[in-house]
A and B are shown apart, each in its own frame.
Chain A
C-alpha cells in the first residue's frame, strides 16, 4: 500500500459516499454546538420535520454570549437578545435530546476547551462545530474544522458533512523554541510567514522537534490559530504526550479499552515517504516573543522590533492595508513596540485560557501589581480550568496582583457579552484575532502570549519577557 498522511487515513476511514466531481459525504464522530451558530439550524430541522440523527454524538455548551461576572449563574442575563439566544439553545437541546453544559454546570466552558478536557476529543475522529476555531482539536490527531449554520443543520440531520478533499501542507518546525518563546509566538511567527491566506484550501500537519516536545495545551494553541493562516484544519500526530493527556479523562476509553485505543491511535501518524502538496519549514530558534501591530494576525513583529513603515512594502495592496492598519491602531512607523502604553489586558479565549496558560501567567504575575493605568482580566477557558486553577491558588496570585478573576467563556475575544473595549482603548490580548473592532468598536488589539500579556499588565506597556525577573 502506498504511504499515507495522517489526514488521508482519517479522511479515508470516514467516507460514507464519494462520487467524481462531487464533495464526499464524511461521517462526523463529534459535533460540538453552542448558542450563536445553531438557532437557525434547529429551526430548519423543525420546518422540515427532521430529527437530530445522533444526539449521543452531539455536545452543547453556552460560551459566546455568557457573562463572565462571578455569580452569573444566579443572575439574569441582562442583554435580552443574548438571553433569548441562550434560552433557544437550552430549549432546542431539550427538544432534540442533546446534552447541554450550561452556565452553572461544572463542565461548561469554551467549546474547544471542554471537548479535550472531558476527553470527547480523540485521535482519528472527524470533529466539526459552527466555529472556525474548531481547528484546535486537530492537536490530538483529529480532523477538525469549522462549519457554517447550514452545515450545522446538515450534520444534525445526517451526522455527515459534505466536503471537497482539501490539499495537504506540512509545516515543519526544526529546532527547539528558545527560552521565553511560547506556542503562541510560534504560531504568530508562522502566520507572519505564510500570511492570512497562506493555508487556504489546505489541511496543515505540524511536525518537527518544537512540536514533538510541546505540551498538549501548546499544540492546541498552534492548531487553534491555523484558521488565522487560512488553513482548513491543523493537525499534530498523536504520541505519548497525547495519550498521557487523555488517560483517565471522563469521556476517553477506560482501562483495557484505552490501551486498545492507543494501539489504533498510534497507527494514525503519517507514513514515512508520504507526500504533502506543500512544505513550509520554520526555524524554531529564530522565533522571538511576538506582538501583532496591525489588524490581522499576519501583521506581527518581534518584541524587539519597530513598527513597520508601509512605504517599504512593495505590493500596492499590502501597502494600503498596512497604512490603513496603522491608522486604525494609531501607531507611527519606526516606534519601538515596547514604548506603546496599554489600557487593557485580556487573558482568555480558546487560544490561551487552558491551565498551562494560566499557570504560566501566574508565574509572571506573582508578587507584582497591575499597573495603575491598566484594567486586566483573566477569563478561564472553562469552569473546570477555573476550579483547578483555584485549587492551585492561581486565582489568589492574580487577585493579589490586581487582576479581575472571572467566570469561563469566550468573553472579550469577540466581545459578544458585556466584556468589550471602548473606542480607542489599547489591549494586550491572548486571543486570536486583532481585526478592526473585534474586541469592541474602535478597540485596538495586540495579540501576544499569556506571559507577555501578564508582564504588559504589570509594566503598563510591552516588555521583553526574556528579561523578566521572577519573584
Chain B
C-alpha cells in the first residue's frame, strides 16, 4: 500500500448526496478476480451513455477535472453495498482522497485498507469547496495528513480534520492490517483455547 503523506491536486466535485457504491461501480463489473483495472468502470452509469459514448454533462468528464486526485461530494458517501471494488475503482481512476460531510461505515473501512484518505468536514465547508470547484478553473486543495490540515491556494479554505491515530499511522506508513494483527497471534491462540474449554 502506498503511504499517504501530502497531496496537492485539482478538486473534482460530485454535487450529490448519498452516492452509493452501486453508482461508484455497478455490480456487472464486479466479476473480475483481480484488484486492478476497475477505474474504467468508475461511475459508469453516469460517465457513459447507454451506447457507450461519454456523457458530457457528467462533472468528471469535464476536461478541467482531468487528473484530479481529490473528490468532493455530499453527505453519506459510499453507502450501500460492501464492495471493495468501489475504493479500487476510485484509486485506479486516480483518487487518493475524498472529502464529504459523512461517509458510510463499511466504505470507510475499505478505503483505509487501500490508502485512500477520507476527510470529513462540516456541511458548510464542503459546500464551499464544491462551489469553488464548480465555479473555478483548476481549483486546487492541499492536504497534509501529518498535520491534519487541508487548504486552498489563497487560504480562503483552511480546515483541520479529525482522524484517529491508528488510521493515520496506517495511512502514513502504508501498512497492512494482517501483519499488525499477527503480532497478537498468541492472544488469538489463547482465546481459541479458552473457548474450547468453555464448550
List residues of A whose CB falls within 8 A of some B CB. 16-17, 21-23, 25, 27, 36-37, 39-40, 43, 48, 50, 53, 64-65, 79, 81-82, 84-85, 88, 130-132, 134, 145-151, 153-154, 157-160, 162, 164, 166, 196-197, 200-201, 227-228, 230, 232, 296, 317-318, 320-321, 324, 414-416, 423, 433, 435-438, 441-442
Per-residue CB proximity of B164-195 to A under 8 Å, as 1/0?
Answer: 11100000000001100110110110011001
13 A-B pairs besides A200-B104, A230-B104 with CB distance below 8 A are A21-B164, A21-B165, A23-B166, A25-B188, A132-B81, A148-B109, A150-B113, A151-B177, A197-B75, A230-B79, A320-B16, A433-B22, A442-B50
Distance of B24 from chain A, by nearest CB (Å): 11
Pairwise interchain contact A200-B191, C-beta atoms closer than 8 A: no
Pairwise interchain contact A415-B76, C-beta atoms closer than 8 A: no
Interface residues of B in 25-69 (CB under 8 A from A): 26-28, 30-35, 45, 50
**Number of chain B interface residues as a range:** 35 or more
List residues of B whose CB falls within 8 A of some A CB. 15-18, 20, 22-23, 26-28, 30-35, 45, 50, 74-76, 79-84, 87, 102, 104-106, 109-110, 113-114, 164-166, 177-178, 181-182, 184-185, 187-188, 191-192, 195
Pairwise interchain contact B113-A17, C-beta atoms closer than 8 A: no
Cross-chain pairs A/B with CB under 8 angstroms, 6 sampled: A40-B35, A50-B178, A160-B188, A162-B177, A197-B79, A436-B23
Q: For the complex, give the distance between the alpha carbons of A442 and B74 in Å.
A: 23
Pairwise interchain contact B33-A88, C-beta atoms closer than 8 A: yes
Q: For the complex, give the distance between the alpha carbons of A88 and B33 in Å.
A: 8
> Given the known A-B contacts A148-B82, A148-B84, A230-B105, are A27 and B188 also in contact in the complex, defined by CB atoms under 8 Å?
yes
Contact among B15, B75, B106, B195 for A148, CB-based, below 8 A: B106
Pairwise interchain contact B80-A416, C-beta atoms closer than 8 A: no
Q: Across the interface, name the chain B residue whose C-beta is closest to A83.
A: B31
Pairwise interchain contact B184-A17, C-beta atoms closer than 8 A: yes
Pairwise interchain contact A150-B31, C-beta atoms closer than 8 A: no
Residues of B within 8 A of A22 (CB): 165-166
Distance of A223 from chain B, by nearest CB (Å): 15
> Given the known A-B contacts A147-B82, A148-B84, A200-B104, are A16 and B191 also in contact in the complex, defined by CB atoms under 8 Å?
yes
Contact among A146, A196, A438 for B18, CB-based, below 8 A: A196
